[in-house]
Each structure stands twice: as structure tokens, then as C-alpha cells.
């Protein structure tokens, strides 16, 4: 096996391969810049004997953006033009075939979050975005034992009564009341709500079939088409 030595080139001397079809968005380059500033150039670009880049176009762009004048390289000599073009494609395509052991990656990122935080460093240094990290952390939970899957037992004794107001920290309040005539001012402390989710009554008839006939159902008795117009109007303005 041929041994190749690390050599150094000025960034201005390196030329992109004319057949390189890999696109490098600014986001990728910025992440590489952060990595290079923290760790240095640990993966030298590969070039031919004419200083044409065969692998590492993004790294060269990042080195240039990081304002470094010189970069370590590995020179691949003796390749035909066809071999060089094939290698330019292979270097990118073969890397795409790799994947992650997601649960193991989630554990690693969780541990790194604490370790890097102690050093004043951000987990973004790994190249993973917050949304990706959150999704990976979800892999730590056994999908067969999701906490939300367990139905809590029904309480045998009521712990709250109509009119009870629960204070949940400094910004959340929970009122136990009848929504038809609840004291919303007491719930909101007379402040205007930023948002409200409601299912307003339209007094639309919802007949309930029982056997072969139709009958009114007590669950739909309030403002569901079973109230006369006058009673419905009174209900709305009450």
C-alpha cells in the first residue's frame, strides 16, 4: 500500500474540480468553519498533482472563510482523468451510505451536552441542530413503555369542587367551574387573553338514533338545535 505524506498548500493555490457536482450550502460551510476554529483541519482535502481538489471542496471553502492562508493536503498522484472523476463522485456517494445507531447517538449527545456545557461550549459544535437533537433524545424512551400509554386510576374521592382555582406556578391558572357561566375574569385576573380555543354552540340539531326511532339526548341538550330560538338567544347573552 502506497504511503502518502501530509503536505501543505496555500489556499489560493487550490482549484475546484470542474466536474464536481456536489453542492455546499452556506449552512454547511458555517458549521465547518466552527469545527475548524475549534479543532483545526483534521481531515486534509485530497488533491491531484496539479492542485485540483478531488475531495474536500467544502473543507477548502471553510478554511478560506476561516481566513487561514495554508491548509494540509494529501496528494493523489498517478491517477487518470477518468479515475479522478470517478473518485470525485465516489468520495461523496459512499459517505452517504453510512447511518447512525440512533439510540446510541442519543446517549452520546446527551452525555456531550453536559460535558461541553461544563467547558462553555455548545452542542451545535457536533453539527446537529436542536430539532434533530430533540428527536434523537426521544429515542431514549422505550417505545413499548410510553408514560402516556398508562391510564391513571380513577379517583374514588373528588379533590376539587366547583369554584376551586388552582395556581400552577406564576403564569398558569386552572379553574374548576361550569364553562357556561364560569367566572372567566377570576381565571384571567381581568387580563385580556392572548388566545382562546373554543367550540361555540351553533344550535344545530344532532338527533340521536335509539332503536328504530329518534330521541333527544341529554348530552346535546344545551345549544345543539334542541333549544327554541328565544332560549338559545338567552343562553348566548347570559
pLDDT at 214 over 60: no
Residue 183 contacts by C-beta under 8 Å, 6 or more apart in sequence? 175, 177
pLDDT for the residue numbered 170? 78
pLDDT for the residue numbered 156? 81
pLDDT for the residue numbered 206? 58
pLDDT for the residue numbered 128? 86
Tell me the sheet residues that pair with 15: 52
Of 198, 197, 205, 210, the C-alpha closest to 222 is 205
Of 138, 169, 125, the C-alpha closest to 34 is 125
pLDDT for the residue numbered 147? 55
pLDDT at 212 over 50: no
Cα separation of 87 and 83, whole Å? 6
pLDDT for the residue numbered 143? 55
213 falls in which pLDDT band (50, 70, 90)?
very low
List C-alpha distances in Å: 118 to 37, 108, 145: 19, 16, 32
pLDDT in tens, 146-196: 555 667 777 788 788 888 998 888 778 888 888 777 788 888 887 887 777
Q: What are phi and psi of 202, to 5 degrees?
A: -115, 0
Q: What is the rounded average pLDDT of the residues 46-62?
A: 94
pLDDT in tens, 107-150: 888 889 889 888 888 888 898 888 888 877 776 655 555 555 66
Cα separation of 15 and 57, whole Å? 9
pLDDT at 230 over 90: no
Angle between helices 57-65 and 26-39 (to 10 degrees): 70
pLDDT at 223 over 50: no
SS (H, E, C) 122-173: CHHHHCCCHHHHHHHHHHHCCHHHCHHHCCCCCCCCCCCCCCCEEEECCCEE
- Cβ neighbours of 54 (radius 10 Å): 22
pLDDT for the residue numbered 160? 84
pLDDT for the residue numbered 92? 85
Give me 177's grid cell. Answer: 367551574
205 falls in which pLDDT band (50, 70, 90)?
low
Domains of the chain: 6-96 (3.90.1530.10), 102-143 (no CATH), 163-197 (no CATH), 199-238 (no CATH)
The answer, as to whether pTM is greater than 0.85, is no
pLDDT for the residue numbered 60? 95
pLDDT for the residue numbered 30? 92
Amino acid at each position: 500500500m502506497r504511503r502518502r505524506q501530509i503536505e501543505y498548500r496555500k489556499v489560493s493555490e487550490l482549484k475546484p474540480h470542474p466536474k464536481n457536482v456536489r453542492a455546499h450550502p452556506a449552512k454547511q460551510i458555517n458549521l465547518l468553519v466552527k469545527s475548524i476554529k475549534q479543532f483545526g483541519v483534521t481531515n486534509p482535502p485530497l488533491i491531484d498533482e496539479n492542485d485540483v481538489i478531488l475531495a474536500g471542496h467544502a473543507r477548502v471553502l471553510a478554511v478560506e472563510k476561516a481566513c487561514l492562508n495554508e491548509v494540509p493536503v494529501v496528494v493523489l498522484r498517478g491517477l487518470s482523468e477518468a479515475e479522478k472523476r470517478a473518485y470525485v463522485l465516489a468520495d461523496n456517494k459512499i459517505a452517504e451510505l453510512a447511518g447512525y445507531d440512533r439510540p446510541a447517538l442519543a446517549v452520546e449527545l446527551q452525555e456531550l451536552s453536559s460535558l461541553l456545557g461544563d467547558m462553555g461550549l455548545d452542542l451545535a459544535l457536533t453539527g446537529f441542530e436542536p430539532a434533530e437533537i430533540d428527536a434523537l433524545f426521544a429515542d431514549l424512551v422505550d417505545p413499548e413503555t410510553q408514560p402516556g400509554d398508562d391510564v391513571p386510576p380513577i379517583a374514588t374521592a373528588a379533590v376539587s369542587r366547583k369554584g376551586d382555582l388552582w395556581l400552577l406556578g406564576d403564569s398558569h391558572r386552572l379553574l374548576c367551574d361550569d364553562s357556561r357561566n364560569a367566572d372567566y375574569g377570576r381565571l384571567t385576573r381581568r387580563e385580556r387573553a392572548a388566545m382562546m380555543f373554543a367550540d361555540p354552540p351553533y344550535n344545530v340539531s344532532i338527533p340521536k338514533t335509539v332503536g328504530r326511532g329518534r330521541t333527544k339526548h341529554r348530552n346535546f341538550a344545551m345549544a345543539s338545535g334542541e333549544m327554541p330560538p328565544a332560549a338559545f338567544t338567552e343562553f348566548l347573552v347570559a
